[in-house]
Amino acid sequence: MRIARRSRWLAQRLWLVAAAETALITRHHWRRLEPEERSRLIELARKSKGRPSRLSRSERREAAELLEKIDYAELGGNVAATLLPFRPVARLVEFALGRPMRSHRNANAAET
């Protein structure tokens, strides 16, 4: 019983560790921009409200250049690598990809 409580306690804190690591990864990528560029990207994000169609063509191009400088694809990969070991997140990603994870019990039953 004591081990179970410790395991539960540790599992609850691992999310905090993952959140901190994600914040550090994001900060590292964010720091690739100069302060003026960061301000401009925030301004464009606020103006667009998440919809690129709300920006002019030149603003969309500018936002794309700033996002490339951050290397958003690498950022996404690094964050995913941090979070995927956690089963709920892994299940969500697998579900989104259309490949739900099978439990070990189902996998073993299929083999016999």
pLDDT band with cut points at 50, 70 and 90 for residue 35: very high
Give CA–CA dist 9/13, Å, rounded.
Answer: 6
Quickly tell me which residue has 């900060």 as its tokens. Answer: 27
Spell out the domain ranges in the chain: 1-32+72-112, 34-70
Q: How far is CA 55 from CA 31, 42, 51, 62, in A?
A: 24, 13, 8, 10
pLDDT tens-digit series, residues 64-78: 999 999 988 888 888
Q: How far is CA 92 from CA 19, 52, 80, 82, in A?
A: 17, 26, 12, 14
Share of the chain above pLDDT 70, in %: 70
Quickly tell me which residue has 């439990």 as its tokens. Answer: 103
Regarding pTM above 0.85, the answer is: no
